[in-house]
Amino acid sequence: GSKVRFEKLGGSRCIGILVPGPESSSFYAGIVKGAVEKCRELGYEPLIRRVTAADGKMEQRRGASAVASEFIRNHVDGVLLCPFSATPNDFDVNVIILDALQNEGITVQLVNRPVGGAKGETCDLVWIDNVDAGRRVAAHLIDMGVRRCIFLCCPDVESVRMRYIGLTTEFTEIRKSAVWQIKRTPVSDRTVKGWMQRFKPQAIVCGNDYYAYML
Q: Is 207 strand, coil or helix? A: coil
Residues 6+ apart with CB under 8 A from 199: 148, 150, 180
Tell me which residue of 131, 127, 96, 92 sits closest to 109, measured CA to CA.
Answer: 127
Dihedral angle of Cα 211, 28, 26, 159, to the nearest 10 degrees: 0
- Tell me the percentage of the chain whose pLDDT exceeds 70: 88
Residues 6+ apart with CB under 8 A from 177: 142, 146, 147, 148, 149, 171
Query: For residue 11, is pLDDT > 80?
Result: no
Burial of 125 (0-12, 13-18, 19+ CB in 10 A): middle
What's the pLDDT score for residue 156?
79
Task: Please count the other Cβ atoms lying within 10 Å of the Cβ belonging to residue 170.
Answer: 23
What's the pLDDT score for residue 16?
96
What's the pLDDT score for residue 150?
94
Beta-strand ranges (E) seen in the chain are 14-20, 45-51, 78-81, 108-111, 124-126, 148-152, 178-182, 203-206
**For 49-106, how does the pLDDT look when each residue is reduced to its tens digit (9 = 90+)?**
988 765 567 788 888 899 999 999 999 999 999 988 755 556 678 888 999 999 998 9
Mean pLDDT of 141-159: 89
The mean pLDDT of the chain is: 85
Residues 6+ apart with CB under 8 A from 214: 185, 186
Instruction: Classify strands 78-81 and 148-152 as parallel, antiparallel or unpaired.
Output: unpaired
What's the pLDDT score for residue 100?
93
